[in-house]
Amino acid sequence: MAFDPTPFRAQFPAFDRRLGDRPAIYLDGPGGTQAPEMVIDAMAGVLRRGISNHDGPFAPSRESGEIHHGARVAMADLFNAQPNEIAFGQNMTSLTLSVSRALGKTWGPGDEIVVTRLDHDANVWPWVIAAEESGATIRYADFDPDNGWVVTVDRVREVLSDRTRLVAFTHASNAIGSITDVAAITAAAHEVGAQVFVDAVHYAPHGPVDVAATGCDFLVASSYKFFGPHTGVFYGRHEALEALDAVKIRPAPDDAPGKFETGTQSFESLAGVIAAIEYLASLGTHGEDRRSRLRSAMEISRDYEASLSTRFLAGLAEMPGVTLYGIDTAAGRTPTFAIDVAGMSADEVSSRLGEVGIFTWAGHYYALEVMDRIGKLDSGGLVRIGFVHTTTTSEVDVTLEALDRLAAGHTLDGLPVPG
């Protein structure tokens, strides 16, 4: 049966927002999604009930410990990992900077680190800094706009050697939506003895993340991209975590995963993470336990989003004034589209859309290498339009009409509202 987003949309207070007489259309999911009521309630509930730091011998403190553990269990379910392989932090960038310092201490001159040109800068620059500090050399795996728009395992192999210590790459591009073959690249990296660090920040809301199946060593995500609060998540294979010296202060735990969590966690956010996982699991139609319901949920989400992509791409193909940068079919991509409207800057397009309540991003979205690779870094970047499972077909149609009008130099006055 086809997925109907209606009952899920109804759970998001943010969708009641209006701009004048127009409903808000959130197409900025790649920059951050909205939160369902259950996430908001869980976070407010923790603060209302009374909250204390964890590990003390009294009730609210014990509750914080339970929330902390519950969030690890929840994320382990989403990633098909174990709870002792999950650590939290402020956001993906902070976690990656911290882990890169720890890994960098194990590298030396002559070692090689592979990063890609498809990545957000948070999975490029921390490794460049750590390589510089340790004397290691950075090698870039490229993607080819004339040939698939993705970093293939073959492109990665071109820069692998027996000196490669780490391959850091994205699960999916937050700029152009291309999905990488995580299992194949991981296997190629492991063949030469390198470790693998995967950025799943953009991919996580769009499909199943499975660290057991792909075999990656480390993976990061951010809960505000999958309907939760602003908290980062770090997965590390337990033996890989145990083997690594975390950058930490003396009283912090010495064992994994706690040694990777700097300072006090946001317990209200962790309560929100648990609720976000429960929300996602509620999209699943089958499965005995939460882990399998989550897989079902993410497959349903992926398939529904692919139908939105097909519709959007068919519409774009009819618009000569709009150029797509990226894969032009629904396969192999998330529903995240970087586009250009002839004769207008990206900022101008986003601003005009924003005036009629269609929220999109413009610029480089921190994907500096991607924008540089396609020659858009110095010219204001591109407009980014992103769908998630709560996006409706009628929102897609209204957005297409808005783009068509802008490309034709028309106004957006009287633009239909989504039905």
Ligand X SMILES: Cc1ncc(COP(=O)(O)O)c(C=O)c1O
Q: Are 209 and 203 in contact (CB under 8 A)?
A: yes
Whole-number Å distance between alpha carbons of 407 and 6: 31
In whole angstroms, the minimum distance from the beta carbon of 62 to ligand X comes to 29
Binding status of residue 170 toward ligand X by CB under 6 A: yes
Q: Which lies closer to ligand X via its Cβ, residue 122 or residue 346?
A: 122
How far, in Å, CA of 264 to CA of 271, rounded? 14
Whose Cβ is closer to ligand X: residue 91's or residue 323's? 91
Give which of 281, 279, 307, 311 is closest to 294, Cα–Cα: 281
Q: 170 or 214: whose CB is closer to ligand X?
A: 170
- State the nearest-atom distance from the C-beta of 102 to ligand X, in Å: 17
The distance of closest approach from Cβ of residue 346 to ligand X in the complex, given in angstroms and rounded to an integer, is 16
* One of 202, 259, 290, 364 touching ligand X (CB under 6 A): 202
Nearer to ligand X by Cβ, of 219 and 406: the residue is: 219
334 binds ligand X (CB under 6 A): no
CA 399 to chain centroid: 23
Omega into 57 within 30° of 0, i.e. cis?
Answer: no
* Residue 416 Cβ vs ligand X, minimum distance, rounded to whole Å: 31
- Please state the closest distance from residue 90 (CB atom) to ligand X, in A: 8
Residues 62-101 that bind ligand X (CB under 6 A): 91-93
Which residues make beta-bridge pairs with 127?
none
**Mode of pairing for the β-strands spanning 361-363 and 18-19:** unpaired
Shortest distance (Å) from residue 91 CB to ligand X: 3
User: Pick from 240, 177, 228, 181: which is nearest to 74 by CA?
Assistant: 228
Q: How far apart are CA 274 and CA 261, in angstroms?
A: 18
Is residue 120 a contact point for ligand X (CB under 6 A)? yes
**Per rule CB under 6 A, count of chain residues that contact ligand X:** 13
Q: How far is the CB of 233 from ligand X (least distance, A)?
A: 9
Residue 378: count of CB within 10 angstroms of its CB = 9
Alpha-carbon distances, residue 5 vs 283, 396, 400 (angstroms): 9, 13, 20
Does the footprint of ligand X cover residue 364 (CB under 6 A)?
no
Q: Does 182 bind ligand X (CB under 6 A)?
A: no
Distance CA 233, CA 222 (A): 6
Instruction: Determine, following the binding rule CB under 6 A, whether residue 232 of this chain makes contact with ligand X.
Output: yes
**Identified binder of ligand X from the candidate list 98, 174, 265, 391, rule CB under 6 A:** 174
Structure tokens at 57: 């011998």
Considering the complex, state which of residue 174 and residue 301 has its C-beta at the smaller distance from ligand X: 174
Burial 321-349 (b: 16+ CB within 10 A, else e): ebebbbbeebebbbbbbbbbbeebbbeeb
Q: How far is the CB of 408 from ligand X (least distance, A)?
A: 32
Q: Measured from the CB atom, is 122 or 407 closer to ligand X?
A: 122
**Is 202 or 302 the residue whose CB approaches ligand X more closely?**
202
Q: Is 151 in the site for ligand X (CB under 6 A)?
A: no
Give contact residues for ligand X (rule: CB under 6 A): 91-93, 120, 122-123, 170, 174, 199, 201-202, 222, 232
